[in-house]
Amino acid sequence: MRKRPFVTLEKVQEIIRTIPTPFHIYDEAGIRANARAVREAFSWNRGFREYFAVKATPNPYILKILSEKGCGCDCATYTELLLAEAVGITGHNVMFSSNVTPEKDMRKAWEMGAYINLDDATYVDFLAKMGPLPETVCLRYNPGGSFSLGNTIMDMPRDAKYGMTEDQMAGAILRLQKLGVKHFGIHAFLASNTTTNAYYPELASKLFRLAVRMRNATGAHIAFVNLSGGIGVDYRPEQPSCDIRLIGQGVEEKFQQILVPEGMEDVAIFSELGRFMLAPYGELISTVLHQKHIYREYVGLDACAADLMRPAMYGAYHHITVLGKEDAVLDHVYDVTGGLCENNDKFAIERSLPEIQIGDILAIHDTGAHGHCMGYNYNGKLRGAEVLLHEDGSFQLIRRAETPGDYFATLDCTEFSLPKN
């Protein structure tokens, strides 16, 4: 099975005339259509909002596109808050979900009027140090144990550093009520990159029942339930893909079954999707620099793990298309590598591909989330540019490639500077 890239060889050749590879390119039309589909899937809930996980693709142009489709920002750090603010996204359009939170970060979220999601019960007093508490505060839940769908264990919340126990949550709500907080949100993240339509409804069921128990135990008004992220994408072409329409219907059924009979039909549903919102709408474009013929056949690219860390870090699969050879026979087997001095710097291992020549251009799929942003500067490698492919076929540079000057910039406190040659 194959995936089709959203960009053609001809378009990439046009872009390369002014923006050299490697670069990440994003499909504006796909991003907008997907954001619209998510909103429609949850339109049954009047308070629904998607808070895009900024960590996935922290580029202001992407945030602006999503904000135009009604999305807010899920921020975890001071810098992510600044990025949202730069785009004009503030107040309750921001969800601040952090852990091991520095005071500067918490204060910035408080000053912006963001929803603040407390990771631990001890953060109640930490938040109170900022000044008057907001009327609404969110609390992050960790149920412990394992999280299963049917007989399949999806993840192990007991091993996660995030969230608080149910008893701790009840105690935190009571303490916050005494401090003047009037409304509460509940949040949990129990599994990552699930490719089943059953995950979100099952998570919703657990959190809706928790919301009822918290209301009954504390008398608190539960204003929203934040289902966070976890809806995945089909990185492999043979994998099932999530149907957001069916997922929305499944969550609605749990809402009607659990919350409505309890008189809690005013509860808003929030999500914090990153991967699902952006991954399929980004591709890493790279040029073949070298070939090597030893015990395996190697194809060396001008991109490396500094541009896309996931394969090296997790052994993650990303589909690869040789542009212009989309329908060619896959009759050669290659390791596709970058140039880092690390043997795990491989985008593919023993991958069946069409015959590749030096100068061919490859599209590495599904890099729109956790792609460019996870880059680093090992070996002095510099990250490539980010490009936005507009709906009309035009393109725009939305982040330039790093330069040696950027690499030396943090040495400005020393006697060393970029050599001039």
Which CATH superfamily groups domain 28-279?
Alanine racemase (3.20.20.10)
Q: Stretch 40-62: mean pLDDT, rounded?
A: 98
Please give the C-alpha separations between residue 234 and each of 32, 102, 193, 279, 360, in angstroms, as whole numbers: 19, 36, 9, 10, 26
Burial (Cβ within 10 Å: 0-12, 13-18, ≥19) of residue 297: middle
Structure tokens given for 320: 């690869």
| Top CATH class, 280-411 | mainly beta
The torsion defined by the Cα of 393, 394, 399 and 402, in degrees rounded to 10, comes to: 100
pLDDT at 149: 62
pLDDT at 148: 62
pLDDT at 147: 65
Taking the domains of the chain in order of start, what are their residue ranges?
A: 28-279, 280-411
pLDDT at 151 over 50: no
Cβ neighbours of 57 (radius 10 Å): 29
This prediction has a pTM of 0.95
**Between residues 2 and 178, the one the model is more confident about:** 178
Question: Tens digits of per-residue pLDDT, 298-314?
Answer: 999 999 999 999 999 99
Beta carbons of 251 and 200 less than 8 angstroms apart: yes
Question: Tens digits of per-residue pLDDT, 333-378?
Answer: 999 999 999 999 999 999 999 999 999 999 999 999 999 999 999 9
CA distance 388 to 368: 11
Give CA angle at 98 (145, 197), nearest 5°.
50
Q: Stretch 215-224: mean pLDDT, rounded?
A: 98
